[in-house]
Amino acid sequence: MALTQEQVVKRAVDLMAEAGLEALTLRRLATELGVSAPTLYWHVRNKRELLDLMAEALVAQAGRADSPAPGQPWWEWLAKRARLQFRALISHRDAALVVAGNRPTEASLPNIEEVLDSLVAVGFPPAEALRVILSIGNYVIGCAVERQAEEARTAAPERDTRLLEQAAALPNLRAAIAGVDRPGPAAGDAGFEYGLGLLIEGVRSRHAELLSAAP
């Protein structure tokens, strides 16, 4: 059976999960697939194209949410898309690093158009609709990168205890620490939700400005 681009991308994602992004090279991928490098280049021209295809596949695993469900407010739809993407990224090793800086493939353009259409339909100009999507996407990627970097840190309980003791001597830090969760997945989720809420409220506020300024 002839090798397909979908098989190439799937094996690349699996290889990244097993060995990390740094270990993913086109030569190693070709070896894993049992093909020569020229054969692999029929399916992906270079590593950058491979990463863009991987990014598309990783985000697609989050599930389709390219337009609001019937009766769903557009802002709740935006928040749901962000949560789905965040979950997809933190569920795969180094996925956020792959998605960061990626460019859409030709196959993904109709999906992007559908997302933009949903925002244009409620009053956003196309350019501003794109900025909304990019801003939320950048936030999701940044949170996912930070989450996975935190999880990869070597535990240093003595250092953490020392920092907390020193922070306790500073009134604002002491009060702030008392009001947030300790580092960990639950705290990461709470932080993500807090920031996402601020973003969505900002987008809704901007939407209200656009409507009030419309002729």
Residue 75 parent element (H or E) = helix 74-90
Q: Per residue in 93-147, pLDDT tens?
A: 899 999 988 888 888 899 899 999 999 999 999 999 999 999 999 999 999 999 9
Q: Give the per-residue pLDDT at 115.
A: 94
Mean pLDDT, residues 183-211: 87
Mean pLDDT, residues 150-169: 83
DSSP 132-168: HHHHHHHHHHHHHHHHHHHHHSPP-HHHHHHHHHHHT
Closest of 135, 133, 107 to residue 49, by C-alpha: 107
Q: Per residue in 54-107, pLDDT tens?
A: 988 888 877 677 889 999 999 999 999 999 999 989 988 899 999 988 888 888
Q: How far apart are CA 119 and CA 67, in angstroms?
A: 9
